[in-house]
Homo-oligomer: A and B are copies of this chain.
Amino acid sequence: MIKVKESEKIARTTVQIPGAKGVSIRRLIGKEDDAPTFAMRLFEVVPGGYTPLHRHAHEHEVFILDGQGSVSGSWGKMSLSAGSAVFVPGQKEHQFINVGDEPLRFLCLVPVAADG
């Protein structure tokens, strides 16, 4: 069955991973929908907040919806704003930081096995 979900109505939970600050997640599409390949999640980071600086085997595909941010690691730093698409290959160190005064909102998609 085709499903339509309004993202604002989906429960938002705080990301508890060590190294995260001020990050929440809404799970838009994933295992619970029998998505076979990849999962869509919506993240929100408060001003001054950040995701953990880490690396892992799976890739990320990210799209910035609102706000001002950066993605960084030991390799350097790049700026992000609405409309930026970010590809993070597996095993590349990365951290998303809200460098602005408004919430940083982005979609982050992963292989379905890596979600949750």
Contact = CB atoms under 8 A, between A and B. Distances in A.
A50 B87 CA distance: 29
A87 to B, nearest CB: 5
Interface string A1-43: 1111111100000000000000000001100011111101010
- Interface size on A, as a range, is 35 or more
Given A1-B92, A28-B85, A85-B40, A35 B61 contact: yes
A101 B2 CA distance: 25
B37 A85 contact: no
B40 A61 contact: yes
Given A3-B87, A8-B83, A38 B61 contact: yes
A115 B76 CA distance: 31
Given A2-B73, A38-B109, 18 more contacts: A1-B89, A2-B88, A2-B94, A4-B71, A4-B78, A5-B84, A6-B83, A6-B84, A7-B63, A28-B85, A34-B89, A40-B61, A40-B63, A40-B85, A40-B109, A61-B109, A63-B63, A107-B107
